[in-house]
Structure 1
Amino acid sequence: MDRHAWPQLRVADWQDTRDTLHMWTQIIGKIRLAHAPLVNHWWQVTLYVTPRGLTTSAIPYGAGAFDIEFDFAEHRLTMRASDGGAREFELEPMPVSEFYARTLRALDELGIETRIQGHPNEVDPALPFAEDDQHASYDAESAHLFWRQLLQAARVMGEFRSRFVGKVSPVHLFWGAMDLACTRFSGRDAPEHPGGAPNCGDWVMVEGYSRELSSCGFWPGGGEEGAFYAYAYPEPEGFAERPAGPPGAYYSPENGQFLLPYEAVRKAPDPDRVLLEFLQATYEAAADLAHWDRPALEADPARWAHRTHEGI
């Protein structure tokens, strides 16, 4: 394993860029929300890690589709429509208000009529995008390093996801908190979530947490270089006391979840193994204590490896 594949990026060194990029991803995510049909737990609004950055994937529009991608290799925002139209502009230091105006103008030029809620969610204060001149930073190197963090996190979380054959989400980025997440479900209903996220209707959380789950992810906060997290909803009795896997992992009562600092993974001789150990241990804590039917929900992703010589 190439340890250098896991980049170092101190939160304190890129906080202004992170906060600006957070608002930019909210704008792009809300555009997908405006056009995509509802999928359970709001899976239709998320962004996905690509070999270049983050994408909406194909968004339906009329009889066609379009997509939007943050390219953190060449630092451009690209918009492509299925009728062949395309627009792009450079990612550089600019206020959220300017990014908002340029994005909507580009969509208008492509003939894609779009109206979105004009302020962010899950942050406080929630400055209207059109008035937000406070968030205006963009350090290209930091954005590139963040994408590389996401690339590694998504790769290992994807391997972890492959072990589960029950209902499981994609590995996707929720722009509300700007965290990369993957969620497993037991198949049972969950009690109604109380909500409480800032500037976000409680009904949003009711949909998101309508089924019993075990979730994990990566957030660019919560540690010197960000943190991996894992939680259960509803949280079963004894969950916080269960071992969290590798050294450095712990349960945070303040956050109501297990945390593993990104730097503990990055510095490990085998980062993949350490992260997988954390993901597996915290999942088992949720599944065992809540009495999930694990034999029915899990499978070996290498179960057909002995037949690969025959081809597919």
Structure 2
Amino acid sequence: MSPSMKILIFMGALGWGVIFYFAATSPLSEEYYLCGHRPERTIEHRDKRMIGAENVPVSVWPWQVSVQYRPNSSAPFTQVCGGAIIDQYWIMTAASCVNKQQKRQLLIRAGSDRLDVDDESTQQSRVARIIKHKRFNPVTLRYNIALLQMKTPFELNEFVYPICVPDDDTADHRYESCHITGYNAQPAGDVGALQEAKVDLMSRSLCNRPEYWNYTVPADMLCVGDFGGGVDGCQTNIGGPLNCYVKIKERYFLIGIRVKATSCGKPNQPNVYLKVYSLYYWIERAMNMALH
């Protein structure tokens, strides 16, 4: 973990838990930098997909990042995936988004309301290291997770700071609400704007029915969205966060990262996310080993 990262161990209603938090380095109080510290969102946009729906300021979801790539030095950076800040040095995204041989061609953009405008709050960093899960399977998408270590740490403030990484115990808590977030990259609509949509988590047994994902969703994944379609993150938001508010903790947790986008808002094909809490100890080990 980075020198700024600390661990808070707490006793909750359902037992012991662990969350990451960060030592403050600015005049703002340390409490401000506790991970996932945002009021619960109560606005719903269930009649549209996230991509093409209502815009939202990055201060609402300050851990959201754009993972960008350029094929050569003369080409512009364009978004290929989404991701989430889990530490000022670390981004979490999907393993299918990144290639270790291409880390020099990657850029992480944070603190932006839009991708086509450099806001005063915008921060950018290049990638120093890519850690992909060794068991990642590009066919089944099992273990589709990657950690990106930044060359330059992000400066934490109200526009850029981390979401909580859940452990196994967090899965037992009730999520008051969950949202998917990402930057609109569709041909129609307000391209490049940060957007959100409230979603429901559904049982894996329901999601795996033959008329839906036909038993292709494994135990380390979960489904969100509507069977009628219309709420989706689409291809360029693979790796983007599923943000769930845990009321007993009064903060947001990174419950899942988007791993599948074979369709975009089509009926009977809900969003599929990797369960982050099932890989908590891998995340912790990978970040610790990177420092040695």
TM over 0.5: no
* TM-score, normalised by the number of residues in structure 1: 0.26
Which is higher, the Rg of structure 1 or of structure 2?
1
More helix by share: 1
* Higher relative contact order (CA closer than 8 Å, sequence separation 6+): 2
More strand by share: 2
* TM-score, normalised by the number of residues in structure 2: 0.27
